[in-house]
């Protein structure tokens, strides 16, 4: 086996087209090189600087630059008792279908809603709307349950008196 002949050290691989005819690659600036946000559009004349917005030196007030910016603050978590109040009150309202007596569960939901509203004021949590809805639905379901109980008692008393007066 023979080795292929070696090229001299000054030999270079030919290229096509020749180097003097090859197009030059344009050099583009790196868009990720700067960490600062691009400047915004200038404000129309006569517009004031928005509250809480400071104008960096050397720039104009106006619309903020594009980009993500800082994320909004995280929302406060919902109060668990407010959720429970709404759920229990809705179950109580659905319980009205069973002779109206299931509505008494709504009173429990209303009480949970009152406690949740107090906790929300103290702790600064979210869910005040759910707690209020639980209170309203719970008390309405409880009131309908009381009315249904009164009607059932009247019907039973009337039926018993009617059966005592009739003779066979």
Query: What pLDDT was estimated at residue 71?
Result: 72
Determine, yes or no, domain membership for 1: no
Query: What pLDDT was estimated at residue 73?
Result: 79
**Residue in the structure block whose two tokens are 């002949």:** 5
**Could you write out the DSSP letters of every residue in 21-80?**
TSPPPPPPPPTTS--SPPP-PBPPTTPPPPTT-PPPTTS--BSPPSS--SPPPPPPPBPH
Query: What pLDDT was estimated at residue 18?
Result: 61
Number of structural domains the chain divides into: 1
pTM of the model: 0.55
Determine, yes or no, domain membership for 124: yes
Query: What pLDDT was estimated at residue 78?
Result: 93
Determine, yes or no, domain membership for 72: no
- The range of the structural domain enclosing residue 99 comes to 80-165
Query: What pLDDT was estimated at residue 92?
Result: 94
Angle separating helix axes 104-123 and 80-94, nearest 10 degrees: 160
pLDDT under 50: residue ranges of the chain: none
């Amino acid at each position: 086996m023979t080795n292929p002949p070696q090229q001299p050290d000054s030999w270079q691989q030919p290229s096509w087209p020749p180097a003097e005819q090859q197009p030059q690659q344009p050099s583009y600036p790196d868009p990720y090189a700067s960490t600062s946000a691009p400047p915004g559009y200038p404000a129309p004349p006569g517009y004031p600087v928005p509250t809480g917005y400071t104008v960096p030196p050397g720039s104009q007030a106006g619309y903020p630059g594009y980009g993500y910016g800082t994320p909004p603050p995280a929302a406060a978590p919902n109060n668990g008792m407010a959720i429970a109040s709404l759920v229990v009150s809705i179950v109580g309202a659905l319980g009205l279908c069973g002779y109206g007596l299931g509505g008494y569960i709504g009173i429990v939901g209303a009480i949970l809603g009152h406690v949740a509203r107090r906790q929300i004021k103290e702790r600064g949590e979210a869910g005040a709307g759910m707690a209020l809805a639980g209170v309203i639905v719970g008390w309405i379901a409880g009131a309908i349950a009381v009315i249904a109980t009164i009607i059932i008692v009247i019907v039973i008393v009337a039926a018993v008196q009617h059966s005592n007066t009739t003779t066979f």
